[in-house]
Amino acid sequence: MNRTSFAYPNSAMIDSIAILDFGSQYAQLIARRVRELHVYSELFPWNAPAETVLAIQPRGFILSGGPYSVYEPEAPYIPSYVLESGLPILGICYGMQALTYSLGGRVGAARKREYGPAEVETTTPNPLLTDGIHRVWMSHGDRIETPPAGFSVLARSANSPVAAMGDPQRRYYGFQFHPEVHHTPGGREMLSRFVFQVCHARPQWTPQSIIAESVERIRKQVGDEAVIAAVSGGVDSSVATAMVHRAVGDQLVGIFVDTGLLRQDEPAQVRQALQETLGVELVMVDAADRFLSALKGVTDPEQKRAIIGELFIRTFEEEARRLGKPRFLVQGTIYPDVVESSAPDRANAQRIKTHHNVGGLPEDMDFELVEPLRYLFKDEVRQVGEALGLPSRLIWRQPFPGPGLAVRCLGEVTRERLNRLRQADFIFTSELEKAGLLRLHHSQTGDGHQTGTAQAFAVLLPVQSVGVMGDQRTYQECIALRAVSTEDFMTADWARLPADLLAHIAKRIVNEVDGVNRVVYDITSKPPATIEWE
């Protein structure tokens, strides 16, 4: 397998910020926050080769947090080329401590660890923090005891005498807190001040620039050869297909594989949406029996993903041979897929799960991958889709995992259990749609939570419980309902759906879906849980 990454952008045209990842689960949020400012940012492992990082010609560096203590023997450190570059640096949490340690300051264990909300007070006028008290999110066990020479203390908290520090001459700054998370309300403005006032970057990262750069790179990669696209009807594969179609036109053929693991009426909807909207030649492949046979008796989620990923590609190879065996395959891989699968370019992060279109693909497959969305977040994908002219119904379609219902049907995947899950899922989402809650709304409830859902679905659990129906004892399966609000899908909160609506949905599922006698609602945020159950 040859995976071609799209490392945006053309550095001669678009300003960028390099983010060095020291293993923080928040690192990708820093990249997203910078991109929200229309400035390109890219996440690199802290020990990436200098030439790889400097190839994007960054206007500055941001150093992420991480799970280490700087004084540990194996702790990551700031590469020399960063300090020698003369470019601005912002260290966040561990990044601030690493900057302190590298420049001769002193870092020590805090007498009291600080996790969660805190207040910091600005003590010295500076370009990043306005005067006054700021609500922030802390997550650290060490703190700065003595800043390096040339640094001033910019802010303090009750437990951190150096909550922020800076050296304006060298344009080095550090935050002990995390400006990238939503729990730091002024964090966006703080990052904006660093990007624009300190790094002097220009806001050039827009959907139009993404499309222009992607089209150029696709044409350069593909030339005049034929391309096939793995299309599912979801937003990611649809936007990726539209992007490649914009670049190569009739060289592209879309292939839709019906795995038997799709939602209710989805194959027909996919055919209509892609053929009518995109104008792409579309080949439909009914492979449901083949997939269900391969999944018989399998209960481990990672094994499911591996089986589906390989069979998915093998099916494509068979269709490709019928089409003259094109060399290139389009996939809608996006940045969260890459991050959560802990691809090799993220050395210090822990694998959460394998995405079937990232870590579950066989290495010996026959295609060279074209992944124009590989470094885009979900909200960026939707913005690009709108700029490409895709309809709203396609762009805002509920996200759906590559392995389909196989990872929402916990335990063994059978035709009977899939039908049970489909019915429950359709009842849930159709009732949310009737209530106007199937999409996230920007209005907020009195307690500050967003209304609506960014993603909502049903999960079938391999758990049976006792129930009573018509005065008779039942022993049937359980449906879990999952609905979340999120902007980036890297963190998510459970949706506060009305209790009366949930009661109505539960009643419908129990009454209408054979084999289900219990419905529960998942109120776990991400983290600690993931959005999907498997």
Nearest CA among 167, 173, 163 for reference residue 193: 173
- Say whether pLDDT at 115 is over 50: yes
Residues known to be catalytic: 93, 178, 180
Task: Give the percent of the chain with pLDDT over 70.
Answer: 88
Tokens 């989805």 correspond to what residue? 266
Residue ranges and CATH numbers for the domains of the chain are: 14-198 (3.40.50.880), 207-395 (3.40.50.620), 408-521 (3.30.300.10)
- Say whether pLDDT at 220 is over 90: yes
- pLDDT tens for 117-132 read 899 999 999 999 999 9
Token digits of residue 523: 């109120």
Over residues 421-434, mean pLDDT: 96
State the pLDDT at residue 222.
96
Q: What does the mean pLDDT of the chain come to? A: 87
Token digits of residue 254: 């879309």
| CB contact at 8 A, 448 and 420 | no
- Say whether pLDDT at 470 is over 60: yes
Q: Which residue has the higher pLDDT, 454 or 172?
A: 172
Please state, in angstroms and as integers, the Cα–Cα distance from residue 320 to each residue in 230, 237, 363, 433, following that order: 11, 18, 17, 38
State the pLDDT at residue 503.
98
State the pLDDT at residue 275.
78
State the pLDDT at residue 281.
87
State the pLDDT at residue 407.
94
DSSP 148-211: PTT-EEEEEESS-TTSEEEETTTTEEEESS-TTSTTSTTHHHHHHIIIIIIS-------HHHHH
- The reported pTM is 0.73
- pLDDT tens for 247-301 read 999 999 999 999 999 999 888 887 877 777 778 888 999 999 999 999 999 999 9
Over residues 513-526, mean pLDDT: 96
State the pLDDT at residue 363.
60
- pLDDT tens for 338-388 read 766 544 334 444 433 444 443 345 566 677 899 999 889 888 999 999 999
Q: Which residue has the higher pLDDT, 388 or 108?
A: 388
State the pLDDT at residue 124.
95
| CB contact at 8 A, 509 and 476 | no
State the pLDDT at residue 321.
87
Over residues 426-432, mean pLDDT: 96
